[in-house]
């Protein structure tokens, strides 16, 4: 039985969450993704923006494929959905995410206390 894109994402999300939990239990420090930006605090939104900017830039620089040979999203694309970004399917989508994330980083940047 062929999986739908939603089923593939659910499987990817479950496996990635499990790997992150195992890594953190072993002493690692992987940040839990912001799954719903509307319910997130400003620190979580800032962390989401940092993630979006970093991963979009990496995907653009390394020219990561966003779809496989069958047209399904790759993990490089699905990771954005975990952080409540639209799943990119083109370089233009990545550039939109990058611009949005950079703008949010400037807006949400924590104030330095003196």
Sequence spans of domains, the chain: 32-108
pTM, full prediction: 0.86
What pLDDT digit, counting tens, does each position of 22-34 carry? 999 999 888 889 8
DSSP letter string, 42-100: HHHHHHHHHHHHHHHHHHHHHT--SB-TTSPBPHHHHHHHHTTPPPP-SHHHHHHHHHH
* 6 — pLDDT class (breaks 50, 70, 90): confident
Would you state the pLDDT for residue 58?
96
Q: Please state, as a whole number, how many other Cβ atoms lie within 10 Å of the Cβ of residue 73.
A: 21
Would you state the pLDDT for residue 84?
94
User: What is the spatial distance between Cα 90 and Cα 10, in angstroms, rounded to a whole number?
Assistant: 21
What pLDDT digit, counting tens, does each position of 32-59 carry? 898 888 999 999 999 999 999 999 999 9
Contact status, residue 48 vs residue 32, Cβ threshold 8 Å: no
């Amino acid at each position: 039985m062929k999986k739908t894109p939603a089923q593939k994402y659910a499987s990817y999300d479950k496996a990635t969450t499990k790997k992150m939990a195992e890594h953190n239990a072993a002493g690692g420090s992987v940040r839990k993704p912001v799954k719903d930006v509307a319910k997130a605090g400003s620190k979580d939104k800032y962390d989401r923006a940092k993630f979006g900017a970093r991963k979009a830039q990496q995907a653009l620089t390394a020219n990561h494929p966003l779809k496989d040979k069958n047209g399904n999203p790759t993990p490089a694309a699905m990771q954005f959905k975990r952080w409540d970004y639209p799943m990119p399917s083109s370089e233009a989508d990545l550039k939109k995410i990058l611009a949005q994330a950079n703008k949010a980083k400037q807006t949400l940047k924590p104030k330095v206390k003196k």
